[in-house]
């Protein structure tokens, strides 16, 4: 445990359970001394998030469904009151209907298309807008999670690939907007990890097998490897990086055939 992030405050969106990538990000940031706030999207998840957050002393746990503007406003009012400032925003939230994560992409419904984009892409912009006033003058860092299905066809990933492409483009536009204020915005493109969300993608086990046999490192990654890069992106060490997508995927993204 270090103290390079002592005196700093972070908001972590997307802890569902201990397998969540957001939880690995949280532990990596807390290890460096950052004080954290967590959201829970529904009452059903509240107890689990509170139990995990209790492992990191001083943490806050607040309700926030990212599709609900009133709840987002409420979350940031609480943060302003409790922390008074924000240095890091980790956005590890995504959703698509299970039936849209199998079969043909052209069968995607209008509603399914909209939901996936609202939760998985627009929410980054909605949260960033509220975070900016709290990050003013503090060299804030915003990190989101993406997947290579935004740039290459991953069978069954379908609408999430389109939403992740919008998310990555949002990162670049937000980085351009916020750079003059000293706020950085980046994405981490993670290799496949067995989490609650991932289990919704049809054929997910086959994807894990493919990476283990073809990625340069000949293995899959784990969530803690993503957490460490997230902590790097929220630290002084990454002060020259913004608008980028960093791959934590055992090198799989460089492969052609």
Residue ranges binding ligand NAP (CB under 6 A): 14-16, 20-22, 41-42, 45, 65-67, 92-95, 119, 145-147, 190, 192-193, 195-198
Q: Is 147 a catalytic residue?
A: yes
Least Å distance, CB 143 to ligand NAP, is 11
CB 186 within 8 A of CB 233: yes
Question: If we measure between CA atoms, which residue out of 73, 91, 95 comes closest to residue 201?
Answer: 95
41, 45, 50, 56 alpha-carbon torsion, rounded to 10° = -70
Nearer to ligand NAP, 6 or 153 (CB): 153
Using CA atoms, how far apart are residues 65 and 86, in angstroms rounded to an integer? 20
Least Å distance, CB 202 to ligand NAP, is 13
Q: Which of 157, 173, 247, 252 is catalytic?
A: 157
Least Å distance, CB 248 to ligand NAP, is 9
**Contact residues for 101 (Cβ-Cβ < 8 A; gap 6+):** 156, 157, 158, 159, 160, 200, 201, 202
Least Å distance, CB 187 to ligand NAP, is 9
Question: If we measure between CA atoms, which residue out of 148, 145, 171, 157 comes closest to residue 225?
Answer: 145
| C-beta neighbour count of 118 within 10 angstroms | 15
Nearer to ligand NAP, 59 or 146 (CB): 146
Cross-strand partners of 11: 37, 89
Using CA atoms, how far apart are residues 248 and 238, in angstroms rounded to an integer? 16
Q: Which of 9, 40, 147, 252 is catalytic?
A: 147
Nearer to ligand NAP, 119 or 175 (CB): 119
Least Å distance, CB 19 to ligand NAP, is 6
Cross-strand partners of 146: 189
Q: Is 157 a catalytic residue?
A: yes
What are the catalytic residues?
147, 157
């Amino acid at each position: 445990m270090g103290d390079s992030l002592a005196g700093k405050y972070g908001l972590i969106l997307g802890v569902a359970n201990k397998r969540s990538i957001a939880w690995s990000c949280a532990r990596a940031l807390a290890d460096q001394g950052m004080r954290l706030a967590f959201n829970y999207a529904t009452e059903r998840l509240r107890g689990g998030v509170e139990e995990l957050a209790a492992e990191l002393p001083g943490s806050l746990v607040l309700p926030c469904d990212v599709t609900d503007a009133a709840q987002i406003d409420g979350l940031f009012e609480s943060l302003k009151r409790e922390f008074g400032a924000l240095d890091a925003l980790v956005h590890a939230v995504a959703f698509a209907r299970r039936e849209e994560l199998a079969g043909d992409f052209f069968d995607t419904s209008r509603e399914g298309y909209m939901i996936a984009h609202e939760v998985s892409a627009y929410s980054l912009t909605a949260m960033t807008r509220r975070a900016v006033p709290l990050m003013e003058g503090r060299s804030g860092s915003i990190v989101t999670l993406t997947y290579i299905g935004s740039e290459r066809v991953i069978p069954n990933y379908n609408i999430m690939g389109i939403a992740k492409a919008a998310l990555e483009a949002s990162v670049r536009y937000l980085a351009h907007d916020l750079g003059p204020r000293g706020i950085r915005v980046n994405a981490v493109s993670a290799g496949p990890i067995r989490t609650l969300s991932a289990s919704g993608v049809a054929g997910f086990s086959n994807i894990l097998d493919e990476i283990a046999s073809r990625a340069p490192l000949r293995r899959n990654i784990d969530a803690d490897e993503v957490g460490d890069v997230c902590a790097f992106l929220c630290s002084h060490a990454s002060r020259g990086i913004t608008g980028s997508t960093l791959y934590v995927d055992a090198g799989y993204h460089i492969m052609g055939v």
